[in-house]
Each structure stands twice: as C-alpha cells, then as structure tokens.
Chain A
C-alpha cells in the first residue's frame, strides 16, 4: 500500500520475559478511522507508545508517509505531523483553554523562542477557529484546570489539530466520559478526519463507539493481531468472538 499514511510491519516488544506485542503489522490510509481493540492487557497501549516515540520497539518498522520513524523522540514524531490525545488527559492546567491551543500553534510554527513578544498576541484567531471546530470557543478564557473531563478531551483534540496532522493517535479518547458524550466526540473526530483527510488510529473500550465510528477494526489479543476488517467482518469473526465471549460459545 503506497498511499498508507502509517505502515507498521512486524512490531515486537517484550518487557522482561513478557512478550507485550508480537509481530504486529497493519496500515492506515488518509481519512480512515481505524480502531484498535482488544481485552485489557492485550498490548494496545504498548503498541501506541511505539508509534508515537515513547517506547522503542525491539524489532519492526514504523513508516510515516514512507519514512521510518523508529527511534525518534515524541517531539520529533509530532514535527512529522502526528497529533495525539492521551488516555489520561494531559493539558497545561494553569493556562487557559485558548493558551493551550496557542501553545501548540506556536510550537508548530517554531516561534516559541521569543523572550519579549507577548504570548497572547499571536495565533489568537487560529486558536479560536480550532476551538470553534471542537465546540470549545465559549470556554476559551477558562483555565484548563477547572474544565470537565469531556471538555478536556476536546481541548486535547484541538491541540492535536493545531499541528495540521496527517495522523491522529487517540489512546482511549472517550475513557471517563458519559455515553452520550462519547459518541458525540468520536462523531466530531470522524467528521474532521474526513474533511481534512486525516488518518485516525484509536483504541476504545466502548463497542458502541467502535462499531459505529470506525471504518476498519483490528483486534489485538495477548500481543498478537487476531483479526482485522470492516465492523461487520470483525463482528462475525470467530476468533474475536472467542476472545470477547469466551471459547465455549
């Protein structure tokens, strides 16, 4: 697949004697929503952290738009156009919502090294445009430290988009949110991804969200990929049913 935004081949990672991820390969194309699912401890987070530079794989290739990114630090991966949201939100809690997004915009433009210009002056309109897209413009002045959890996830999304990413990595984007909010956030993400032609890889425990929003699903169990395909195909897959429902069924 030459048009793949992200191509993963033969990813391996072991911690001590435990094989956390074994021979995982997949690819994702522009504008596609790909869900990575699996039971707890299947290796989803390990997989994720090898894609964004937080962990170095023992073996395997991770290509972003054809370029090998294994061994790059997270900040270098971000510079190549990868935006992220965290399982447990990580925002700058003492800064306002707008300032959080401005920070990402400043970094994207490599203009943070200025000592005397006032921070608030630049990228204000751009930040507000992004906040409008995720529905957070009315809270732009509030410090992130006082926001509700679902709103923080939206701020993270806006920060990820500030990078004009070609790939979004979202680790459990709806964890800790109310069911209604979950679908809303992923619908929003899917809409933005299609409009801007961004590839989205996300892990998720809420199967309603997964089966309604993902274009394709891959299933991880004990570090290995056991299935992949459209929601309908995965739903019908015997191996997946065994993992989720138990082998006796």
Chain B
C-alpha cells in the first residue's frame, strides 16, 4: 500500500466511524442511566434513515431541504424515544432486567413492521447531499466532500455531548445516575423526567446517525439488527456508559474495517488471505480481544454495585413424573388425530423447545445471559448438513456427530465467555454468534453462502413426516429431560450457587469458571442437537439459523414463558412458534402483532406467562384458604 492509499482508507474509516459513534453514544447514554439494554436502538437508527428519506422527498433536494430533513428526522426519532419510554419502559423499570430486554425486542418487531407498512419492502436509495456531491482531491485520490463533513461531525457531537454532560445540571444528573442511580433517586431527583430526557437525547443521536447516512447507504428493513450489533460492539469495546470510549471504539473499528476493504486479497507465502472478507468479522474479533484483556472495555469502569439486590430467584421445582408422562402421551398421540401440517409445526416446536430450554439453562439457573445462542443451533444445523452432504456420511451419523461439533465450538467460545459476566458476557456471546454467521455467510464453496445448502433429507425410514416427528420428539425430549435432570444434580446446584454468589463459591473451594465452561459446552452441544434435528426436518440449512434474529427468537421464547420456571421456556416456545405461524398466515404484518402481544404480556405478567400464572394461582389459593 502506498502512503496515499493508507490516508484514503483512514479517511474512509473515519467517515464510517461518525455514524457508528452517534448510535453507540446514544445507546451508551441510555444504558448508563436506565440500565436497560435497548435492543430497539438500531430500529431508531433505521427510522432516522427512512424518515430523512421521506422528508427530503417532501422538502425538495436542496441544501436547505436536505439539512432540515436530517434535523427534523432526528427530532422525530427523539419523540419516538419519548413514546417508547412513556408507553413501555416507564412501566417496567422495576421489573427484572431480562424482562425489560424482552420489551425492547417487542419494540423492534413493532417498528420493523411500521417501517414495512409505511415505506415498503424495497430498499430506498436516497439522494446525494445537495451542494456536497462533489469530490475533493487528496494526495491524488478523490474523496467525497460529504465524507469529510461526516468526519468532522463525529468530534463535534462528541464535544457537544461533553459540554452537555460536564457543564449543565442535566449532565451532572446523568453522570450521577450512571454512577449511582439509587442515590440520585434518594436525593429527590425526578427520575421519570430524567429517564425521559435521556431517552430523547439518546434517540436523537440514533436518528441523526441514521439520517446522516442517507447519501451513503440505502434505507432497508434489515438495518435494525445489523446496526444494533455494531452499536453493541462499539459500546462494549469503548466501555458501557463512556461517551469518549464509544468515540475511540468507533474510530478503531471504522478504520479497521476500511483497511480490510482497502487491503483486499493478499498473498502471503503462497496463501491467499482475503482481508475484504474479514470486514464482517473484524469488529467482533476486536471486541473479543478487548474484552479478554480489559473486561470493562477500553475506557469503561466496573459496573456500579446496585445496593438493592434483586429478589433471589425462587427455588426450582422439578416437573412431576405424572405430568411429564401425560405430556409425552399427548405429544405422541397428536399425529394420530391431527393433519400433516400440525405434525410439521409440532416438529418445529419440539426443535425450538430444546433450543429454548438449553438457552434457559445457561441464562436462568446458571445466570449467564446469552445474546448469541443461535450460534450453537446454527452450527449444529450446518454440521449435520455438511457432514451429510459434503462428507457423505449417513444421515444418522451426521445427526449424532453434529452436537459434538457444536459442543466443540462451545469449548472455544465458552472459554472466553466465562471470563466475563453480566451485559459484557451477553455481548461477547453475540459477537461469537456474529463471527460464526459471517464465516458461514462468506464461505461460499463450503456452506453455500447466503443460499445455504439444499437436499438434506433424512434416511428413507424417517422420510414420513410423522415418523420424523417421533424422532424429533425422542431426540429433543431426551435432551430437555437431560438438562432438567442435570439442574438438580451437584453440577446444576453449583451453577445456581455461582449465579447467587461467585464470591462465596470461590470461598468454599469451587472453581466456578470451570463449571460454567462445562455448562457452556453442555448447552452448546444440545442446542446443536436441536439444530441438527431441525435441519433434517426442513431439508435445508441457511445462515438464518445462526442469525441474530434466531438468537432473539430464543430469548423471546424463554422470557415469554418465564425464566424462573423450568416449564416456562417450553410453553413460551409453543406459544411463540404457533402464534407466529398462525398470524403469519393471515397478515404480512405478523411481527407487529407478535410485538403487540409480547408488550401486553410484559405489561400484564412481569414474571412471564408461566411465572405470572403461578402467582395468580397462589393468590387464588390463598384467598380460598
């Protein structure tokens, strides 16, 4: 590379960093004050982009029209943030953190469908910035003038934020709340107002980040989850709650990506190394490295201790044998009376149930929330498909080996993950899932890239849908029973104990990390089994089995049923899968319906469906006694 091209790549990177920084700064601000991981933040960015597009069309492609559109779109997104806070978040600040997460998932679903309804499914390409569409010549290369403006906007916003935070009363309150929310409440500050204003500012930043991308990026419906993944990475690398850290991380990652594109394919010692293929992975590699070296991010501090401890998780009760037998009998009996369609749907439910139960195992009793559990589900599916299709193994062998492959990945990923806890751990799991996804997505020759692989069908004796359903039921049912059994073993008790007090576990001689690592491998292998069974039931594999969408589906299933009971995740899976199928048959806007249903449940049953019903039942029994 010449010096000139290095400078050019640097400028490209800095231009990309600006929008990333704006979104991440907003996310970081909101998390710092409210302690809510706002999954809908990427959706706000998406709204900013769409909003700016429409406003420019309405106001005209003049400099004035363009810039008023950008500003107005950002402010409208800010108002959306206020609506989210007032209508949803404010009602659940006292609910468990995971439930707030579920609510923001629901908001993601609703916003996606609103965008689909208003702007349609086609990508919308915005105009170039009027008056700034020319290029500036630097060192003999041409750089769009708009990029130079973007490079300037990042530091300007950083400066404005710094002034806001250090020179105003509002900023002092925000900083105080980030450090110690309870103390700020105790001092008589109106928390509701503070939270609303923080949501507004954070959302404006997200909207601005989106609106400014109009000349660079078409508005499309996949931006929400793509952007939230980027924003998570940047906030975590920079340190949660640190605006300066977010800027630093955005610059590092923006530049690293730009260089990967710029370098292209290089031949080292006869090997071709494609750096441009690294672009999708590089930010997650940086994040994994940073978190292992500095568990709280580059400029972050250890999270403040919350004085009011969360209510201890209620003791787990094992499902009774009679109930289990009744359920098994029912599930075995269904295909005798139902049609083929129901049998296929039930096969899906059974696969997802094992997936959800394995996720619940790690995030509930073991206390390690995973945002990227689809990694193991998808890797299990791919292992099964590739062993069958590319290695030519018999279907039965592929099905048995797939969980081992997924478990092997869990050995590697888990080793890193157990070194962290809380939100940082969750983000790292997401990073590993995205790395897996990117590799599968890009390795065309092996994985079939974005199309996946077709023709993955079970052996002849299992070809009948009902027979295959029984196989799925046997495999996944055994997996679920195994996980539940383990929860009541000494191993399972260690995980629960470690969730309650890592300090005490260490003080009575327990190597907690070792147990947690083993737990990762166990759930990874079983999620892999679920994925393998799923792959053969569909006859194909595709990258969507590893996507963030699949991971969040798993989280929704677990949280919908309730994380505090064993059967909750199974019930949640059944309801979510069935409802999605039923609604999707009637309307294109099934996501909005699902989101609405989830929000209703969140607001009515803060312990999840099964947890909530349990509470209702106990209350009813008390009244009768």
| In the complex, residue of chain A having the shortest beta-carbon distance to the beta carbon of B504 | A90
Q: Is the CB of A119 within 8 A of B500?
A: no
Q: Please, how many angstroms separate the alpha-carbon atoms of A52 and B503 in the complex?
A: 12
Do B494 and A103 touch (CB < 8 A)?
yes
Q: Contact between A113 and B493 (Cβ–Cβ < 8 Å)?
A: no
Please tell me if B170 contacts chain A, counting CB pairs below 8 Å: no
Contact at B491–A113, with CB atoms within 8 Å? yes
Given known A93-B312, A94-B312, contact A75–B501 (CB-CB < 8 A):
no
- How many residue pairs, one in A and one in B, have C-beta atoms under 8 Å apart? 102
Determine if B132 is an interface residue (Cβ-Cβ < 8 Å): no
Min CB gap A189→B, angstroms: 17
Residue on B nearest A141 in the bound complex, by CB: B315
**Residues of B with C-beta under 8 A to A107:** 508-510
User: In the bound complex, what is the Cα–Cα distance between A186 and B323 (angstroms)?
Assistant: 49
Q: How many angstroms from the CA of A73 to the CA of B503 in the assembled complex?
A: 12
Q: Are A114 and B504 in contact (CB under 8 A)?
A: no
Do residues B508 and A112 form an inter-chain contact, with CB atoms below 8 A? Answer: no
Q: Specify which chain B residues have a CB less than 8 angstroms from the CB of A99 in the assembled complex.
A: 493
Contact indicator B315/A75 (Cβ below 8 Å):
no
A75 interface neighbour in B489, B490, B492, B509, Cβ under 8 Å:
B509
List the A side residues contacting B333 at CB < 8 Å. Answer: none
* A91: chain B residues within 8 A (beta carbon): 500-501, 504
How far apart are A143's CB and chain B's nearest CB, in angstroms?
6
- Asked if A103 contacts B486 (CB within 8 A), the reply is no
**B507 contacts across to A, CB distance below 8 A:** 52, 74-75, 78, 84, 86, 90
Instruction: Give how many A residues have a beta carbon under 8 Å from the other chain's beta carbons.
Output: 38
Residue A211 is within 8 A (CB to CB) of chain B in the complex:
no
Any chain B CB within 8 A of the CB of A205? no
A108 at the interface (CB under 8 A from B): yes
A108 CB contact (under 8 Å) in B309, B500, B509, B511:
B509
The number of chain B residues with a CB under 8 A from chain A is 30
B340 sits at the interface (CB 8 A): no
Which residues of the other chain, B, contact A96 by a CB distance below 8 angstroms?
315
Cα–Cα distance between A52 and B507 once the two chains are bound (Å): 9
Option from A74, A90, A94, A117 in Cβ contact (under 8 Å) with B490: A117
Chain A positions 138 through 150: 1 when the CB is less than 8 Å from some CB of chain B, otherwise 0: 0000011100000
- In the bound complex, residues from chain A placing their C-beta under 8 Å from that of B508 are 75, 78, 103-104, 107-108, 159, 162-163
Contacts of A115 in B (CB 8 A): 486, 489, 491
Known: A75-B509, A103-B497, A103-B508. A118 touches B489 (CB 8 A): yes
Q: Which residues in chain A, 19-68, are within 8 Å of chain B measured between CB atoms?
A: 52
Q: Does B360 lie at the interface of the complex (its beta carbon under 8 Å from any beta carbon of A)?
A: no
State A70–B317 Cα separation when bound (angstroms). 43
Q: Are A112 and B491 in contact (CB under 8 A)?
A: yes
Q: How far is the CA of A116 from the CA of B169 in the complex (A)?
A: 58
B313 in the interface (beta carbon within 8 A): yes
Interchain CB contact (< 8 A) of B491 among A93, A94, A114, A143: A114
Interface positions of B (Cβ within 8 A of A): 309, 311-315, 485-486, 488-494, 496-497, 499-501, 503-511, 515
Considering the complex of A and B, which 6 residue pairs feature the smallest CB-CB distances, nearest first?
A145-B312, A93-B312, A90-B504, A78-B509, A92-B500, A92-B497
